[in-house]
Copies of this chain bind each other. A is one copy, B any other.
Amino acid sequence: MTTSVGIVTPRHADFDSPLTLRSGGVLPAYRLVYETYGTLNRERSNAVLICHALSGSHHVAGVYADSPRSTGWWDNLVGPGKPLDTNKFFVIGVNNLGGCHGSTGPSSINPETGKPWGSAFPFVTVEDWVETQARLADLLGIERFAAVVGGSLGGMQALQWTLAHPDRVRYAAVIAAAPRLTAQNIAFNEVARQAIMSDPEFHGGDYYAHGVVPTTGLKLARMVGHITYLSDDAMGAKFGRKLRHGTKQYHWDVEFEIESYLRYQGDKFAAYFDANTYLLATKALDYFDPAFEFGGDLVAALARARADFLVASFTTDWRFSPERSRELLFALMHNGRSVSYAEIECPAGHDSFLLDDPQYHAVMRAWFDRIEV
C-alpha cells in the first residue's frame, strides 16, 4: 500500500562562509531551503538526494498544512511504499542556489546593499549547486549518499555528483537528461532569455526596485519551454486541431485549444516564478559540459565516476532524446561502470519523467529495491 508522506515543513540551513562560484562570483553567505522525508538511519547510509530541474524546488513530496493543493512535484515517486520508499530511505529535496523558493537567489536581499540582488547575483552552475548540496550534506551528517537522483537538469546534477564527489555517491540515477546541451537546446534557451530580457519591465534584471515583474517575457519563455516538454504526438492526442468554438472565428483570441493551454501555462508560471532565476537556470543548463575540460572527450570526463548508475530515457522525449542518454551510457560503460539503462516507451515526451507511467515506475522501484542500506 502506498501513501503520501503527508504534511511537510520546509527547513533551512544558513551558510556563513563565503562561497566562490565557478563564474568567479562570490556569495558572502547563503541560505538553502530543503525538505526531508523518512528517517536517517543510525548508520547514516540511507540518504537519497533529489536534485530538481529548471522550474522545480525542494518541495518534492507531501503537502503543506496551509495549502492542501500544494503536492510536491515528485510525490508520485516518493513516499511510503512508493518506488522511492520513505520507509526505507531518508529523502532530501533542496532548492538550488539562485532559486526563487527560499534559497538565496536574485530576489533575496544582498546584505551589502540592503536591496534585492537582481542583476548583481552571480552566475551559478551545476558544479556550484553540487558543492552547496555537499555542504548541506555535511551539515546533516551525511558522509555518503545511498543515491543521488534527478531528471532533466536534475539528472545533470546527479551526474556531476558522481564526478565531483565520487566517494560520496553509491548510486546515481540520471533520468531524461543529457551529458551536455545541443545547439538546438541552447537555441531554445536563448529564445527564452531574449523574451525575458527584452521585456521592458525587466529593467536589466533589477525589476524588483521598480515594483514590476517581466511577466510577458517570462510567459513567452515558458510557452516555448512547454512545447519542448511535450511530444508532438502527446499534444496531438490531447489537443489536436480542436477548435474552441467548433468553427473558425477569424480572430486573435483563442481559436485552437492548444493556444489556450499554452497561454494558461505561461500565465500560471509567470505569476509565481522569478525571471532572474529562470535566466540563471537556463545558463546553468547551457554551461554544463563535463567533457569540456577533456577536449570534448566524454569517456575521459567520466573516468572519475564510481557510482552504480541508472540511466533512463523516454522514447518520445525530443528535448533530451534517448540518443543523448545513450551517449552517457556508452561513456560510462567504456569506463567499466555498472549501468542499468532503460529506454521507456511513454508518449508524454520530456515531461514523462514527472509522470507515474507504470513501466517507468517499475524500473525506478526495482532499481531502488536493489540498493542496500
Encoded as 1 (CB less than 8 Å from any B CB) or 0, chain A from 222 to 254 comes to 011001001010011011110000001010100
- Interchain CB contact under 8 A, B183 and A198: no
Residue A190, interface by CB 8 Å: yes
Q: Which residues of B contact A181 (CB under 8 A)?
A: 241
Residue A335, interface by CB 8 Å: no
Encoded as 1 (CB less than 8 Å from any B CB) or 0, chain A from 155 to 190 comes to 000000000000000000000000011111011101
Interface residues of A in 187-240 (CB under 8 A from B): 187-188, 190-191, 193-195, 197-198, 200, 216, 219-220, 223-224, 227, 230, 232, 235-236, 238-240
A14 to B186, CA, bound (A): 47
A24 to B256, CA, bound (A): 19
User: In the complex, what residue of chain B is closest to A197 when comparing beta carbons?
Assistant: B252
**Interface-forming stretch among A5-13, A48-56, A91-99, A257-265?**
A257-265
User: In the complex, what residue of chain B is closest to A215 when comparing beta carbons?
Assistant: B198
> Would A194 and B263 be within 8 Å (CB), given that A181-B241, A182-B236 are in contact?
yes
A279 to B190, CA, bound (A): 22
> Would A223 and B183 be within 8 Å (CB), given that A198-B216, A216-B198 are in contact?
no
User: In the complex, what residue of chain B is closest to A248 when comparing beta carbons?
Assistant: B287
Q: Which 8 A-B pairs have the closest CB atoms?
A: A23-B250, A183-B235, A183-B239, A123-B250, A183-B258, A184-B232, A190-B259, A198-B216
Q: A183-B239, A183-B256, A195-B220 are in contact. List 11 more A-B contacts (CB 8 A).
A: A182-B232, A184-B227, A184-B230, A186-B256, A187-B258, A188-B227, A194-B219, A194-B266, A197-B252, A198-B216, A255-B287
> Would A184 and B252 be within 8 Å (CB), given that A194-B220, A198-B220 are in contact?
no
Number of copies: 2
A186 to B22, CA, bound (A): 40
Number of A interface residues, CB 8 Å? Answer: 53
A250 to B121, CA, bound (A): 12
Output the least CB separation between A198 and chain B (Å): 5
- Interchain CB contact under 8 A, A258 and B220: no
A263 to B190, CA, bound (A): 9
Q: Which residues of B contact A235 (CB under 8 A)?
A: 182-184, 187
Can you list 8 pairs linking A and B with CB atoms under 8 Å apart? A23-B248, A181-B241, A183-B241, A183-B256, A187-B235, A194-B220, A241-B289, A318-B318
Residue A317, interface by CB 8 Å: no
Residue A35, interface by CB 8 Å: no
Residue A85, interface by CB 8 Å: no
Q: Which residues of B contact A287 (CB under 8 A)?
A: 248, 255
A238 to B194, CA, bound (A): 22
